[in-house]
Structure 1
């Protein structure tokens, strides 16, 4: 596991607590464990060069502070690899270092070694890790197969926003989580696999929670993303991408069944052949309600109730408006831009790190995704300031991030997360309140 945050190195916590202290006699230095063997190496740090220091023979005071330890720029280094400064060999001897380079993170013209946790002006950054579901995938493939929400057209982006007005003196709580207000009605994230169908997964996820909340728990379906992927085909491309406005239109006009009834077929990126056909249709039964005209496409489940919603509405992008809507009516859907580092997110409060700015174009690609925002909170930083965040559910399965969820900086439109946020009401009549 490696961690690759961004920032000014104010506080450094490194593996290998027994860092070399100041010089404690010659034998200590000769028997010191190899700094570089412990992974403590500043891949691009200038030490000897910065001080213009290359001392002859063995000069124990020819030393510099080095990431919580001490490193040397004297020729004694030539036979002990353990405690030389990282640029000793190339600067003092003009030869490449005798250890392989370790990948680091560049920020502000400086390279930081991996295996550390850093602080940027005391902003706390998040942890990265190597998520096994993405092993062997290029960034291009990740963007192509793990996202799948097409950026809305300008006419949809210009939807009128519904403004919620806070009452005079109304103060929203510092933290809120939908699953605490509505226990058992907020559903866990599903996994879209290598299907570029976040448009269907995020829509089904928000609709599932909202139908459950608005029916006061009488209906608690996990709605079927596959129903949307296979049957919502008007200007939609299934596992090759789709639009949120089309997904909500389908949920309102046609409705979908539960995920138990119509499970995800999990089509992988390398499967050839046509997309799976639509296995569930519905017909009108009066008062805008619809009923299924087919059995569930699996033999274990017979409940093929059709669930519908009212028209989706767009919220103002002010964080207070999103918070009030979330707290009163349930989780909301948000569009976001996914950058290369989001795939590596493992925990903490995410914000996009500009590590890739100095890298070639293929490392800087990004794509549009959609997720379910479920709450918010804030965290105190060591300097006393507060970092605000949203909590959200992704659709990359429970082993990604924080059990399938993530936190992201709130109030700064981080990765466009506050730019296009939608809410919806579950279509729930009195007759639904009794028999489900």
Structure 2
């Protein structure tokens, strides 16, 4: 849990320590190591632009203080060993910078590259870090390969909401976590890898928990995202994206097996060829229940039980209604917009920090994702204000965020997370309560 110090604290952990000091003449400049080779990359710093500097040839006065060093806005800086200011390429030359930008945090009109903790008057207390899973990936590739939920059509977005009524005088707890109310029934986050299949992963994650809760723990499957990715092909695109309404329709009408039975094949983004074929089908066996017509694709597992859900329902976007539903019936699924800084989240209470305002469009891409909300809480800030948050599970593996989870500001529709929230019931009959 973060303790926010009084005033403003900015912790910088630079990737590579550089302290060149003030400019020390031409020889010093010629011998200086390249700023960007030493890991000082200030993705959003508007140095040349703010001073309106762009000098021809070599002009040692065309320089600005830069994070304890000096950077230049003249053409001479653009050499093999570069000491250019970070916006030299796009502002002076009109081309993208030749190194992958490291996003940072804005403070006092300047953006700092941060691999540490960022505090902005204690309003935004979350920690950024560089995740090895994303090394070598551009922002565009992150949006294309790590998300994968298609924004619902207007017809689905206008889906009738089920309003949860709080009883007169009913007070919800200030903190709640599904795993504490239902121990051993709430499953850990999976990892979608470079498969744009969050539509399948978040659906399977919420369904797994709810089948476990609604069967009172008699069934505790980790449901198979691969079953959805490979077999739910009607207007769905597998690892290239899909729709939540289609995923829930498939879980209701066809059902899926467990992840042990039908494990994730982990197709990578650069793997050519067709998507893996569907290896599991089911048939009706009366009373709406279905059974598998194929063995598990995994030869080590024989249990090919089919799990189904009831029709999905949409919650109102009031945070109290979402909280009551979560506390009574289990984790819910939420749509959210992922911005560039979310990839760097390491811990704390996330809210989108517009570090890339004023940057070219390619640094401000965002896309639609879906996640599992598992609980909520609140923290008191030093000035006495209360910061309310949701806890949620992502599908980027346990190394991302807080062991695969994250916290995000609650009650203000941060990143659209309260705009489209879904719940469902596991389809559980009396016969399911005994032999699983």
Give TM-score scaled by structure 2 length. 0.79
SS in 1 for 2:203: helix
Q: Is the 8 A contact 1:6 1:118 kept in 2?
A: no
How many Å apart are 1:116 and its aligned residue?
A: 5.7
Contact 1:198-1:370 at 8 Å conserved across structures: yes
**1:31 match:** 31
Residues 177-236 of structure 1: per-residue CA shift (max 9 Å, x gap): 000000000000111111110000000000000000000000000000000011101111
Q: Secondary structure at the match of 1:328?
A: helix
Greater C-alpha radius of gyration: 1
Cα gap change, 1:21/1:172 in structure 2, threshold over 3 Å: closer, same or farther? farther
Alpha-carbon distance change, 278 to 73 in structure 1, aligned in 2, over 3 angstroms = closer
CA separation of 1:425 and 1:7: change in aligned 2, threshold 3 A: farther
Report deviation, 1:172: 0.3
Contact 2:282–2:291 (Cα < 8 Å) also in 1: yes
What secondary structure sits across from 1:118 in the alignment?
strand
Query: Shift of the alpha carbon at 1:422?
Result: 0.1
Preserved CA contact (<8 Å) 1:3 1:116:
no
Gaps of 5+ in 2: none
Q: 1:14 to 1:273 in 2, by over 3 A?
A: closer
Instruction: Provide the C-alpha distance between the structure 2 equivalents of 1:425 and 1:314, rounded to a whole number of angstroms.
Output: 12
Contact 2:33 2:81 in 1 (8 A): no
Give CA-to-partner distance per residue, 1:110-149, whole Å, 9 cap, x none.
3446466443233132111111111111111111111110
Q: Which moved more, 1:350-359 or 1:43-52?
A: 43-52
SS in 2 for 1:200: helix
Shift, 1:384, TM fit:
1.5
SS in 1 for 2:356: helix
SS at 1:123 equivalent: coil
- Cα 1:211–1:44 shift into 2, 3 Å: closer
Structure 1's 38 and 424: CA in aligned 2 closer, same or farther, altered over 3 A? same
Flag the 1:131–1:68 CA change in 2: closer, same or farther, 3 A: closer
- Greater alpha carbon shift after TM alignment, 79-88 vs 174-183: 79-88
| More displaced 10-residue stretch of structure 1: 171-180 or 28-37 | 28-37
Q: Are 2:4 and 2:122, in contact at CA under 8 Å, matched by a contact in 1? A: no
Q: Which whole-Å CA distance do the structure 2 matches of 1:88 and 1:279 have between them?
A: 53
Shift of the 156–19 alpha-carbon distance from structure 1 to 2, 3 Å rule, reads same
CA distance in structure 2 between the partners assigned to 1:235 and 1:97 by the alignment: 38
Residue by residue over 1:272-308, the C-alpha shift from the partner in whole angstroms, topping out at 9 and shown as x without a partner, is: 1111111110000000000000000111000000000
Q: Which of structure 1's runs of 4+ aligned residues deviate more than 6 A? A: 1-103
Change (3 A) 1:3 1:128: farther
**In structure 2, C-alpha distance between the alignment counterparts of 1:52 and 1:365, rounded to whole Å:** 26
CA distance in 1, matches of 2:214, 2:172: 22
d(CA) in 2 for partners of 1:179 and 1:401? 18
Q: Is the deviation greater in 281-290 or in 85-94?
A: 85-94
Q: Check if 1:167 corresponds to 2:148.
A: no
Secondary structure of 2:434's counterpart equals helix
Query: d(CA) in 1 for partners of 2:139 and 2:90?
Result: 33
Deviates more, 1:112-121 or 1:235-244: 112-121
CA distance in 2, matches of 1:142, 1:92: 27
Residue 245 of structure 1 deviates from its aligned partner by 0.3
User: 1:305, 1:323 → 2: CA distance?
Assistant: 32
Change (3 A) 1:229 1:191: same
- How many angstroms apart in 2 are the aligned matches of 1:250 and 1:432? 20
Q: For residues 421 and 57 of structure 1, do their structure 2 counterparts lie closer, same or farther at Cα, with a shift above 3 Å needed? A: closer
Cα–Cα, structure 1 residues 350 and 427, in superposed 2: closer, same or farther, change >3 Å? same
RMSD, matched Cα? 6.9
The match for 1:403 is 403
SS class of match (1:81): coil
Shift of 1:271: 1.0
